[in-house]
Structure 1
Amino acid sequence: MAWVSLMLAGFFEMFGVAMINKVHRDRNWQSFVLLVIGFGGSFLFLANAMKTLPMGTAYAIWTGIGASGGALLGMLFYGESREWKRILFIAMVLGAAVGLKVVS
């Protein structure tokens, strides 16, 4: 269950990062509420996962999902560069997160 919570924390983190961009574009209270929900959910699920998982492992995977997911969302929805080098390094971050899961 801790791993499911950690994955949900990562997805809420991705959502929160996307909402930062939305707040900068729209500047309305609805966007800000979605931003708070995204990061609030992220911290809630991360805290739940850390009841069982070691802090270092949980934090590394959470930031990996958030960072790589945010970069992928930028490529898919905001026209950011899709250069192969960028994709390679995103894959390396995700590979490291999977590696931590395997050894934990």
Structure 2
Amino acid sequence: MGWIFLIVAGAFEVVGVTGLNKVLKYNNIRSYLILFIGFILSFSFLSLAMETLPMGLSYAVWTGIGTIGGAIVGMLFYGEPKDWKRLVFIGMILSAVVGLKLSS
């Protein structure tokens, strides 16, 4: 169950980061709600995951999911570059996260 909590925590981190981007662009109450709710849920699920998973592993996977998710959301919705080098490095982060899962 810890891995499911960790994946959900990473997904909500992406929601929080998206809210942060919206706050910087629009500065309205909806953006702040997305920001705060995303991060509150992210940290809540991260703490649940850490009840059964080691701290170092949990934090590494959580930040990896957030990094990959944030980069993909940026490319799909905010016009960030989609060059091959960026995609290769996102793939490297993903392979590291999978490697951590397989080794634990």
Q: What TM-score do you get using the length of structure 1 for normalisation?
A: 0.98
Taking the aligned partners of 2:71 and 2:59, their CA distance within structure 1 comes to: 18
> Would you identify which runs of 4 or more consecutive aligned residues in structure 1 move more than 6 Å?
none
Match of 2:40 in 1: 40
Q: For 1:27-83, what per-residue CA distance to the aligned partner results, in whole angstroms no more than 9, with x for missing partners?
A: 111210110000001000000000000001000000000011101100000000000
Is 1:87 matched up with 2:91? no
Equivalent position amino acid for 1:38 in 2? G
Taking the aligned partners of 2:13 and 2:59, their CA distance within structure 1 comes to: 12
Taking the aligned partners of 1:33 and 1:76, their CA distance within structure 2 comes to: 22
Match of 2:72 in 1: 72
Aligned residues between the structures: 104
Q: CA RMSD in A?
A: 0.6
Equivalent position amino acid for 2:81 in 1? S
Gaps of 5+ in 1: none
Gaps of 5+ in 2: none
